[in-house]
Structure 1
Amino acid sequence: MQNKTTEIATIRQAVRLQEWTAQIEAQQASGLTIRECCKENGIKPNTYYNRFYRLIMLISNLPWRSKYARNS
């Protein structure tokens, strides 16, 4: 069961990342500002920037660090 749960989580993450990439590409192709595009798509600009940052970290193969992560 653990393997199946992990596999499902991996698939969900991949789908989510594809959706985020599509949103960012659509914004860049639209000619709209980020604020305008976010308003049109019902997301907050902070959410957009968070997703953008996370994608950059994944592409760069750098660890993603939330601003809420504890320093250890």
Structure 2
Amino acid sequence: MLELYSLSGCPYCAKVESKLEALGLDYERHEVPRRRTNRSTVEEVSGQRGVPVLVDTENGVTGMPESDDIVAYLDRIYG
């Protein structure tokens, strides 16, 4: 199961969501608070408070940040 920590209106998050949809992948989306100081859940998962963050437990990914890295990963593993 793929999980994406994301924020509405975030262009980097939208880029990852577009890739997930283009690949036809099911994922659970977690909307994070707009204020970075309120993103403790994201920090617990990835060690930082920025989004997007991908979790892919089947492949041992516990909290991948950076939209370009996530898109490249999705292409490599699921593309």
TM-score normalised over the length of structure 2: 0.28
| RCO comparison, higher one (Cα < 8 Å, 6+) | 2
- Higher-strand-fraction structure: 2
- Higher-helix-fraction structure: 1
Which structure would you say has the larger Rg?
1
TM-score normalised over the length of structure 1: 0.30
